[in-house]
Chains A and B, each alone.
Chain A
Amino acid sequence: MNDHKDRSNSKQPQSCHPQKQHVKDDKKSGSRFWKELAKGIVISNPVFILVLGLCPTLAITSSITNALGMSAGVIFVLLCSNIMISSIRKATPLMVRIPVFIVVIATFVTILSLVFEAYLPPLHKSLGIYLPLIVVNCINLGRAEAFASKNSVVLSAADALGIGLGFTIALIIISFLREILGTGSLEIFERQLFKLPGLFTHPLIFFISPPGAFLVIGTMMALFRLIGVIRGE
């Protein structure tokens, strides 16, 4: 029953992404921090490469304001839960780890939801059900299981920030394209930035609708694959 000894030596079970193996003779922990942070943005971008958390991505990218709100929420939850899970990883029994992860994640999501409801009600309203659904967003559980439960607090924080930023960038790209094409204008927090003359009067409403989301995400995934192929990965 020596779960804890086994676990630190065992290979990663069911890691759902192409994570680089731990480099043991890495002398500078600082460089490791930046590496973990940077990898989430392109190499293992959660949306375009890992294909995690697609449900909120499809649903809330119809406007850039929603995308920013959702990203802020996911970064907060990911950072807090990664730090928390990493700092209790040595005391967490293997057999109840998943319930523990879920409770930790759900706690931070509920805090986020309460804070949004109190201080940012319009955003809370437009994110709707997708805010509480961050609990079951597989980005959170995926990072908890694959990274935070095996790495130090600092590296887990870097991982959370990297993946969170990758998610943010993906959401911004998708919602930018969808909002511009689908409404012909761009609005951030109820302030209109600009209107496109022809497109504003005859917007391509298709892009605001769910099929438009699939089309934009599919195209972006193809582009990211292309970058990978060109770089020979």
Chain B
Amino acid sequence: MRNKILSNKAYPVVFLAVIVIVSVVLLIAVNGITSSIVESRKREEIKGILENIFPEMSQYELEDEVYIIYEDGERAGYAFIARGSGYGGDIDILVGLDNGFGIKGVSILSQTETPGVGSRITESLFTDQFKGLSASDIALKSEGGKIDAITGATISSRAVVDAIQKKMVEIIDTLEK
């Protein structure tokens, strides 16, 4: 009986199908448990970073990838996420704007740059340079802007600068409409 089943031509197909179904069921179960935790953690994380840039923030709304920040019911500014490609992969940057579209703060959300070199884009020495600048000032000093690149990490610095500049112009365009 056992040998009959095993030597059936359809058996390998059925066996693989069963394995795949079991695996899918298992993954759906695990995903069901973890997805809500992951979601709420991500929301908390974004909220924490927004609060760093807008300390008085009372609430925020997400509208077409732009975060609108409110302080006591009044609009205090905007925030958006820009993505640049650096030396070691994508760099995600959260940028806060005030009502006049000047930069209020910049925070690196994720990066995979070379540790100790390109990873220094996360340091406040670099990110604080953006404060108060308008879109036209955002370029490296060697290219006529106001940002000092990190020594030895021009590619990472330029990736951040270019990503912010490009996305900022785009966002301001849509906001002004």
Contact = CB atoms under 8 A, between A and B. Distances in A.
B32 to A, nearest CB: 10
B12 A103 contact: no
Interface string B17-55: 001100100110011011101100100010000000000
Contacts of A137: none
B30 A125 contact: no
A93 B14 CA distance: 10
B23 A205 contact: no
Nearest to B45: A121
Contact of A103 (B7, B19, B110): B19
Interface string A66-110: 000000000000000000000010011101100110011011001
B16 to A, nearest CB: 5
Contacts of B12: 93, 95-96
Contact of B114 (A125, A128, A208): A208
Contact of A99 (B16, B112, B114): B16
A118 B38 contact: yes
A128 B112 contact: yes
A35 interface: no
Given A103-B20, A117-B34, A205 B6 contact: no
Contacts of B3: 2
Contacts of A106: 23
Interface residues of B, number: 29
B112 A115 contact: no
Interface residues of A, number: 34
A111 B30 contact: yes
B112 A1 contact: no
A91 B110 contact: no
Contacts of A114: 27, 30-31, 34-35, 38
A118 B34 CA distance: 6
B23 A104 contact: yes
B115 A96 contact: no
Chief secondary structure at chain B's binding surface: helix
Contacts of B110: 125
Contacts of B45: 121
Given A100-B15, A104-B23, A2 B7 contact: yes
A26 to B, nearest CB: 28
Given A208-B114, A209-B114, A117 B38 contact: yes
A93 B114 CA distance: 46
A203 interface: yes
B116 interface: yes
Given A63-B115, A110-B27, 18 more contacts: A91-B15, A93-B12, A96-B12, A99-B16, A103-B20, A103-B23, A106-B23, A107-B23, A114-B31, A114-B34, A114-B35, A117-B34, A117-B38, A118-B34, A121-B45, A182-B115, A203-B116, A205-B116
Interface of A: 1-4, 62-63, 88, 91-93, 95-96, 99-100, 103-104, 106-107, 110-111, 114-115, 117-119, 121, 125, 128, 182-183, 203, 205, 208-209
Q: What 6 pairs between A and B have smallest CB-CB spacing?
A: A118-B34, A93-B12, A107-B23, A118-B37, A96-B12, A114-B34
